[in-house]
Structure 1
Amino acid sequence: MAKVDGASEEQSALIFLGTGCSGGVPKAQCLIRPSNPPCPVCSQSLSVKPEHNPNYRCNTSLLIDYCQTNGDHNYILIDVGKTFREQVLRWFTYYKIRRVDCVLLTHEHADAVHGLDDMCSMQQSGLVNDASQIPVYATQECMDSALSRFPYLRKSEHKQGRVDWKIIEENFEKPFVASGLQVYPLPVMHGEDYVALGFLFGNKCRVAYVSDVSQFPSTTEDGE
């Protein structure tokens, strides 16, 4: 279920941090070089507060507030894109979220991974849990691409690194457990020849989260 005001502290919840395109909404171009008449969607962002504006959207991202049977909460983040810092300022403060326990990455594009540096800065300042590294689940291809842009997140002989990379197996057949939550990877087509991931999770209520998709392969459609 989505996070709502007054939700029980003993319930799990889904917090949609962003539902926008890679560039976000409003588009900067629409605001600095407005058309005549101006774009009704982007121009609205100047007059309505972001938290009450359905057209003020950050990069696609989901925060799973997973309440375990013992009442403890784990916070599982799906994707950490270019607008992650703004998502923290808007929604983490609003819902009083103090940490991220692990991250799931759908693919290596900028709108899914370019907030890794901001996330690690949060970790250093104590916003993440007590562990020195944060687990990040990704395919080998996604991890390699992210490390080519953020090489200092790599573990080396003399440096522990700030991210504990967890590789999602290529066959995508096996579920994995992220911060206590069992997750099934869902391969989907993102464009004509590029495979991204969605995720299936939940026990009492099954939730399939797919953010960037152009086509569902038959193996995903016919799966659990």
Structure 2
Amino acid sequence: MAKSDPNSILRLIPFAVGGLAGTLLLVNRLLTVSLTPAQARSDVVGIIACAVLILTGLIWQQVQPRLPDSVELVGTETFALDRTLPEALQTELAWASHLLLTNTVTRSLLVWHDGEILLRRGILPEQAVVKHGVILQRVLDKHQPVYLVALAVYPGKIEFDYLPENTQGVICQPMGEKGVLILGANAPRSYTRQDEQWIGAIADKLAYTISQMKIGE
């Protein structure tokens, strides 16, 4: 179920206060038999204050960013790490995935390399096989990330059956020549440009570590 924007009520406060104050000014004016110059000046100030509050409410509606609606992903909390990997690589995979899951909107994460799943972590379904589909192949061929900002509208979403069925956004980040870091979010259009740059840096670090491990074998 989608979560409502927690700031929606705050945006209505200037409207409510401005409208209430304006109504009270009008009632006070109607009930005043004899209007003095001081009262007239205070009415003018009150009207200006009400107008400013209402204008502030309009500006908040236009300027303040609304958080994308998020959902509860369907799946179970998972942490499946390939225990045949060198211990140093296991540690780095665990560290990198923890950073991404706790500091970005990522809720599901897979590290895929040369046809093998090195790590599955986060909210995930039972399906543990990564399909080598069109989108994954495109990432490997072009060595460029693919960000599906709203997965539900893409026909290629069937390729990602190893992610929760209601995943809202996906990033496929190249990780060296043969690897891909796959991230799933619980809200559409939720990754920022800074998030994308950071994800790219972490993927490059993992790719370097994997290449060094292979050299040492």
What TM-score comes out, normalization by structure 1 length?
0.25
Rg larger in structure: 2
Choose between structure 1 and 2: higher helix proportion.
Answer: 2
Choose between structure 1 and 2: higher strand proportion.
Answer: 1
What TM-score comes out, normalization by structure 2 length?
0.26
